[in-house]
Structure 1
Amino acid sequence: MFAKPKILLSWLALLLSFASLILSSWIILPAPNMFLLTLAVGAPEISPWLFLLNLLFLLLSLFYIRRRPIQRIVCIFSLIGLLICGWVLINIPPTQIQMAKAMKQGLGANYLEQIPPPVRAKMQTHPFDLINFFRGIPLGKTRYQKDILFASPGGVPLKMEVYQPSKIGKYPAVVVIYGGAWQYGNTHANSEFNQYIANHGYTVFAIDYRHAPQYQFPSQLDDVRTALNFIRKHAAEYEADSESMVLLGRSAGAHLAMLAAYQTDAPPIRAVVNYYGPVDLTEGYKTPPNPDPINSRAVLKAFLGGSVEELPNQYEIASPINYLTHPLPPTLLIYGSRDHLVEARFGRQMYERLHNSGNTAVFLEIPWAEHAFDAVFNGVSNQLALYYTERFLAWALFKH
């Protein structure tokens, strides 16, 4: 009487265990196109969920499924999925140890002691918190303003969003620049991060810029510099300290953050935070990643107006790695080892150049992470990145 439902359940378990394995496999598989890149970005970040899912199907196969062929297949699928997800989970402790070591090497063994205790007390207490993974990272209460017009170059309205601590005061400024291959994106990207950082005692400005290919370099850099001048001019209005400012960007936004901060006539910038940003556009064009889901050369052509052979000077001027001829603000670089848009080797090279030229720099690498890993705010990689980012910000802006 109950045989038919059990057979159906067995086949359903087989189908779902296969789907779970496919999802888990994107933790290690490189994505050949932008559609599959979403899976490759997200899979490592939700690996604890995938681990539990694979474990569930393994237990089903061992204790409930009685049809031998199906049982074996479900068991095999689940075991492979568990091994893949487990690779991420068992690498969390050694990765955080390596990141802690890199922070001390870059900022000094006692860098945490330079941060005032009240500031330290508000930070995350663990690099990875499983409870925060499942429930979400608490964001706290903040004040929020949007659609603040700061410029209209060529009639294009450029706006910003501002996130402020709940209490009125004067706070260090964190200027956030979104990514999107210089072609798309908006100021509301990564809003959870902005709210979290504001709740920890910063005024956060999320700024806009014109997009390629309609507007090519240096339009984007000009817009960032205009935004910085606007923020400095109106700092008191937004309870920001114009002399305590950090630029933070992701991908193309990180590239613009470095360029803006590294100019010889840049306003006072205390530090730069670079999440997986391009640093050497010439080399990026000559040696694109493989696979190359975003078509890097097409993106660079759209941004700069041509190939590296046609516009070698533009590629050189647009590469932050070529600005190491004078003292630069301390720089935090965070990359994923499995990034197939901006490979981690570029971040490592930037760190070495900064370090060798006498500048303060920290390079953090996450073994399992793809590009835009922090899109999952409570994910495995972003928890690690956030833990050390808030310590870097506090060191740069609050240190004694």
Structure 2
Amino acid sequence: MNALEIKNIDGTAPHGHGVVWMNVPYAEASGRALHLQIIWPPIEDWFTPSQYPTVVFVQGSGWGKQELGQWLLALAEFARRGYVVAIVEHRPSDVAPFPAQVEDLRSAVRFLRENAGQYRIDADRIALWGDSSGGHLAVLTTVTDGVAGAPGVHDDEPLGVRAVVDFYGPSDLSLMPEDPACVQLLGGIDPRQHPDTAAPAAASTHIRPATEQALPPFLVMHGSDDEVVPFEQSVVLGDALVAAGHRIELYRLDGAGHGAGGFFSEPVMDIVDQFLKENLEQ
């Protein structure tokens, strides 16, 4: 009779994966529930109430219905670096036009701060990150933060965001190529024909001198060959921030298109990680 062979391996290695809390409701607006997908990094000791720096990510969608799983694998891999990542669902622009999406992002951050203990979030170390229209919302939410009466802002209590990452987001819709998504965001108004109406959705409208407005640092990445949101949109944002004395790092990814190319490659993620570590330190 053959004897059972038992093989031994080291069982003391650190816990190798995190957790995704799926479809966490954070608000209700326009008759629908809005959700978060919250990703934890690998946690070695589940019984210690450890807290982590947190990235609130806004998935690009032309401000329409979002495919929240589009960058889920990449963001889960990024969470391994020691971050909680919360992917935000906002109202589509065909349900509620601008500034509903800013309102939703603000609500999501407030929910995460209020429930920081449950989701292992360090409420003093929160960053915003978005791609395409999500980058636009991350930037716009930051530059209007704490300004009562600004689009989507109904109080003057700051969110406390300490860093912003913008991947190929538009910054001034009146300077964009013809795009039905921009028109729909503004409730049917073409921003190129009505720049005054589009101005509240432009980041530069709200950027004031650093002596009057405290803004966190910005990291902006944009493809040189972006056929949807021209690279110049990030130059417009960068020029406005620099002129006002704010901090920005702008990278051009040579040969990259709109969301195509090395945006979630390891070298780029290393840059994002280093930027966040520098600006989310205690």
Give the TM-score taking structure 1 as reference length. Answer: 0.59
Structure 1: distance between partners of 2:269 and 2:135:
16
Structure 1 alignment gaps of length 5 or more: 1-139, 289-295
1:293 aligns with none
Identify the residue that residue 387 of structure 1 maps to in structure 2. Answer: 270
Work out which of the residue numbers 35, 38, 56 in structure 2 matches 1:162.
Answer: 38
Q: Does 1:366 align with 2:253?
A: yes
SS where residue 236 of structure 1 aligns?
coil
| CA displacement, residues 217-251 of structure 1 (integer Å, 9 cap, x when unaligned) | 11111111111111111011101011110000000
| Residue number in structure 2 paired with 1:214 | 95
Quote the residue 2:71 is aligned against.
Answer: 190
- Structure-2 residue corresponding to 1:34: none
- Which among 337, 340, 343 is matched to residue 224 of structure 2? 337
Partners in 2 of 1:226 and 1:322 — Cα distance? 22
% identical equivalent positions: 26
- Letter matched to residue 238 of structure 2: Y
1:334–1:385 Cα contact (<8 Å) kept: no
1:254, 1:273 within 8 Å by CA — same for their partners in 2?
yes
What does residue range 262-301 of structure 1 map to in structure 2 within 5 Å?
262-265=143-146, 266-284=158-176, 288=177, 296-301=178-183
2-structure distance, mates of 1:310, 1:156: 32
Is residue 152–residue 158 contact of structure 1 (8 Å, CA) maintained in 2? yes
Equivalent residue of 2:23, what SS? strand
Q: Call closer, same or farther: CA 1:367–1:302 in 2, change over 3 Å.
A: same
Q: Give the distance between the partners of 1:302 and 1:328, measured in 2 at CA.
A: 29
Q: Quick check: which one's strand share is greater?
A: 2
**CA RMSD, 1 decimal:** 1.8
Secondary structure at the residue paired with 2:251?
A: strand
Report matched runs for 1:35-74 at 5 Å.
none
AA of the residue aligned to 1:304: L
Q: Say which structure is richer in helix.
A: 1
Match of 1:247 among 117, 128, 134: 128
Indicate the SS of the match to 2:110.
helix
Is contact 1:186–1:208 with CA below 8 Å preserved after alignment? no
SS at match of 2:252: strand
Alignment-derived partner of residue 141 in structure 1:
17
Alignment match of 1:328 (pick from 211, 215, 218):
215
Asked if 1:175 corresponds to 2:175, the answer is: no
Q: Distance in 2 between matches of 1:264 and 1:229?
A: 12
Equivalents in 1 of 2:111, 2:263: separation in Å? 36
Equivalent position of 2:185 in the other structure: 303
Matched, 1:153 2:29: yes
Aligned to 1:256: 137
CA contact (8 A) 2:58 2:87 kept: yes
- In structure 1, distance between residues paired with 2:193 and 2:28: 31
The answer (yes or no) to whether the contact 2:139–2:164 under 8 Å persists in 1 is: yes
Residues 147 and 368 of structure 1: CA distance in aligned 2, closer, same or farther (over 3 Å)? same
Matched residue, 1:347: 234
Report the AA paired with residue 298 of structure 1.
Answer: P
Higher relative contact order (CA 8 A, sep 6+): 1
**Which residue identity does 1:184 align to in structure 2?**
K
Cα deviation, residue 282, structure 1? 1.5
Deviation per CA, 1:320-343: give whole Å up to 9, x if none.
122211231100000000001111
State the AA in 2 paired with 1:176.
F
Choose which of 307, 310, 314 in structure 1 pairs with 2:197. 314
Structure 2 distance, partners of 1:380, 1:238, is 27
Is the 8 Å Cα contact of residues 64 and 94 (structure 2) preserved in structure 1? yes
Paired with 2:241 and 2:64, the residues of 1 have a C-alpha distance of: 28
Residue aligned with 1:142, SS: coil
- For residue 299 of structure 1, what is the amino acid of its counterpart? A
* Alignment partners' CA distance in 2, 1:315 and 1:384: 36
CA contact (8 A) 1:147 1:159 kept: yes
Give the length in aligned residue pairs: 246
Pairwise CA distance, 1:213: 2.0
Q: Which amino acid aligns with 1:273?
A: V
Assess if the C-alpha contact under 8 Å between 2:37 and 2:86 holds in 1.
Answer: yes
Q: Deviations over 1:4-24 (max 9, x none)?
A: xxxxxxxxxxxxxxxxxxxxx
The structure-2 alpha-carbon separation of the partners of 1:235 and 1:381, relative to structure 1 and needing over 3 Å to count, comes to: closer
**One-letter identity of the residue aligned with 2:38:** V
DSSP 3-state at the match of 2:30: helix
> Hey, what's the Cα distance between the residues in 1 that align with 2:264 and 2:90?
27
Bigger Rg, structure 1 or 2: 1
What amino acid is the match of 1:272?
V
